[in-house]
A and B are shown apart, each in its own frame.
Chain A
Amino acid sequence: MITVQNLTKKYGESIVLNIENLEIPKGQSFGLVGNNGAGKTTFFSLMLDLIQPTTGHISNNGVQVDASEAWKPFTSAFIDETFLIGYLTPEEYFYFIGELRGQNKADVDNLLSGFEDFFHGEILGQKKYLRDLSKGNQKKAGIVASFIGNPEVIILDEPFANLDPTTQIRLKGIIRELAASKEVTVLVSSHDLIHVTEVCERIVVLSKGEQVKDIQTSKETLKELEVFFGG
């Protein structure tokens, strides 16, 4: 589904990302871990064509993302609050995204009804604009918005950060479900090794922009990661 070739991103002399070769097959749940500055967000921004690669390219379902926009209809993401429109209510925001993805209100309502637990009664019908929601609730709205319109690739940057424990557990369930369908490729980055080993089939470790580990998740993975980051 996603192919990365000779991808580098330089700012001046410093190389912030350098991935020679990476293949993510369709339906995989893919985890990206690394310390601050390892290049996780840079990689996701490159995937969404928000920044330009210095060399190389990323292909998403055969579409080279920095050359064509044809990847947009089947790709969705939530990176940070710049993906929210502050002056809309959550409902309006969901419908707006829905309309852009060819979903009518009924479709969106239908999808949202499946997330009532996840929202915990704090998102819908609150008479609040997104900008006035708490950080955690903003994040919930942004994550759910990325599920609208049956995307085939979903990119979530640090989805667990800022969420309360209950919601973290629910989100894990949701990501596992998506992964189980084998239709959706989910890319998740996290600082929380436990979460990421629980939901991802495969984990890539970035360090200073380089890919240093590529692990198929097993029982030993958490231990291995803890040793890597602890040492």
Chain B
Amino acid sequence: MLKHFLTLEWKSFFRSASFKANLAIKIFMIFGALYFMVVFLGLGIGAFYIIEKQGWGDPLLIVNQFMIYYLVIDLYIRYMLQKMPITNIKPLLYLPVKKSQVVAYSLGKTVVSFFNWSHAFFFVPFSIVLLIEGYSPIGVIGWHLGIMALFYCNNFINVLVNNMDNVFYTLLGVVLVLGACQYYELFNITVYTSPFFKALYEMPWMAFLTWGLLISLASSAYIYFKGHVYLDAGLAGKKSLAKTEDYAWLNRFGNLGTFLKNDIKLIRRNKRSKTSVIMSFFFIFYGLLFFTGGIEAYDGPVWKIFAGIFISGGFLFSFGQFVPSWDSAYYPLMMSQNIRYREYLSSKWYLIIIATILSTILASFYIYFGWDAYLAVIVGAIYNIGVNSYLVLWGGAYIKTPIDLTSNKKAFGDKQAFNSKTLLLTLPKLILPLGVYALGHYLISPTAGYIFVAMAGIIGFGFRNKVFAMIESIYKKEKYKTLAAYKQKS
């Protein structure tokens, strides 16, 4: 039976529609994976000595202290990216295959996932270094096995809580608050959690506890899925209770309001678009890396503008970049309805503008780092509104990958972001404002730099009608290709 499953798996991998699609991207991804492996490996070997050299204390203690965050981040990444094992078993249900085998195989498949074994690149070398440095072998082995079990626990927790967004985001919020508390030394959760990890080393038999936890989680996942392999239970897509919403206040915008209403519903009712908006919210905090001096490479004055553009432009980059793919599922309707491209594009544009302004307001806490920091955000916002908003819409005309609104797959970028035309268009989005600022900053004064960038935005804003006419004609030219591309569901 296992042989059958494995051949099916092999074929589904090599025969998938996207397999041959883009060899260059595949290679790129392999390099990306290799990069992370090397980084993890380097960290695994180096972490001990770095911590020791910095004089932060016992390296094992420090690692234990942050272990709780490591685990939570791991869970978060899994929740976002790891695919559920149940997706491909529908065709097997009515065949003479035992359900228990199907379920056991599906769960077993998650165990060998990259999300589990990638951590070994850190923990194996780290444990070896511990042994070399004279830590008790039994203790290290207990610790290593215990932590390993916890990562596998994450694997099954993720399987069990999948699709429970409410639980998940509440948890995420709690962890963020705890992290902030620790940073500002208000309350330190690690004081309570690190003794547990430490105990794994001091009392190696504790590892049995975590393995016990792992076994109980794995068996409850098994029992849960075995009881739910029915089309109307575990395999049923989640059906949300629909409520009709009106947004009558948008009616005053006429035809534009019709589209805005639709876009708001699009964002609120689909998993993929919700993820994008949440991501754009996190962009607001990106500036902390720059303004706190956290990363040395970002200390140059020019980088402030870079930060400003990202802080106010989170939505622009995460949502705007994929216009018109958001409407890919019903693009033929849009194209045969009584719709003008101009109105369609304007509505997306307004959405981007509103979000940019909102982000800028939310980012006002940067005043804490001085008015200069917030000024960079405002200038970045002006440039986003005046120039980048057009550029993302323009780039969208060349992005022809349909989006599956109901799944989070590919939410973190994929080959569509690597199309040569869109890549070229990122230059004016990010590099040009840096150049413009540098020109003013180094030739005249920092203030002149800000004024230059802001002027570029205002000028761009002034040419709105001209630019829209141009983008419209590009969309029209690309229409048939786009329609054909959206038809090919990956």
Q: How many Å lie between the Cα of A32 and that of B277 in the bound state? A: 46
Q: In the complex, which residue of chain B has the Cβ closest to the Cβ of A75?
A: B336
Main secondary structure of the interface of B (DSSP, over half): helix
- Cross-interface CB contact of A129 among B258, B261, B269, B336, cutoff 8 Å: B269
B262 within 8 A of A: yes
A52–B480 touching, CB < 8 Å: yes
Q: Contacts of A51 on B, CB cut-off 8 Å? A: 480, 483-484
The reply on A91 being an interface residue by CB < 8 A is yes
Partner pick for A88 among B265, B331, B337, CB 8 A cutoff: B265
Tell me the smallest distance from the CB of A16 to a CB of chain B, in Å: 14
Min Cβ gap B323→A in Å is 16
Is the beta-carbon distance between A87 and B336 smaller than 8 angstroms?
Answer: no
C-alpha spacing A48/B329, complex, angstroms: 17
Does any Cβ of A come within 8 Å of B243's Cβ?
yes
Interface residues of B in 344-373 (CB under 8 A from A): none
Pair B329/A83 contact, Cβ less than 8 Å: no
Digitize B426-444: 1 where CB-to-A-CB distance is under 8 Å, 0 elsewhere.
0000000000000000000
> What is the interface residue range for chain A against chain B?
35 or more
Q: Are B242 and A82 in contact (CB under 8 A)?
A: no
Interface membership of chain A positions 54-81, coded 1 if the CB is closer than 8 angstroms to chain B and 0 otherwise: 0000000000000001001101110100
Question: Nearest Cβ distance between residue B250 and chain A, in whole angstroms?
Answer: 11
Q: How far is the CA of A177 from the CA of B329 in the complex (A)?
A: 32
Q: Tell me, yes or no, whether B335 is within 8 Å of chain A by CB.
A: yes
- A contact residues around B405 at 8 Å (CB): 86-87
Please list the residues of chain B having a beta carbon within 8 angstroms of any beta carbon in chain A: 237, 239-245, 255, 258, 261-262, 265-266, 269-270, 329-333, 335-340, 405-406, 480, 483-484, 486-487
Given contacts A72-B336, A86-B405, A101-B337, 20 further A-B contacts (CB under 8 A): A50-B336, A51-B480, A51-B483, A69-B340, A73-B338, A83-B330, A83-B333, A84-B330, A84-B333, A85-B329, A85-B330, A85-B333, A86-B330, A86-B406, A88-B262, A99-B255, A100-B337, A100-B338, A128-B242, A132-B242
What are 8 A-B interface contacts by the 8 Å CB criterion? A49-B335, A82-B329, A83-B333, A89-B242, A96-B261, A101-B337, A101-B338, A127-B241
A residues within 8 Å of B by Cβ?
A: 48-52, 69, 72-73, 75-77, 79, 82-89, 91-92, 96-97, 99-102, 126-129, 131-132, 149
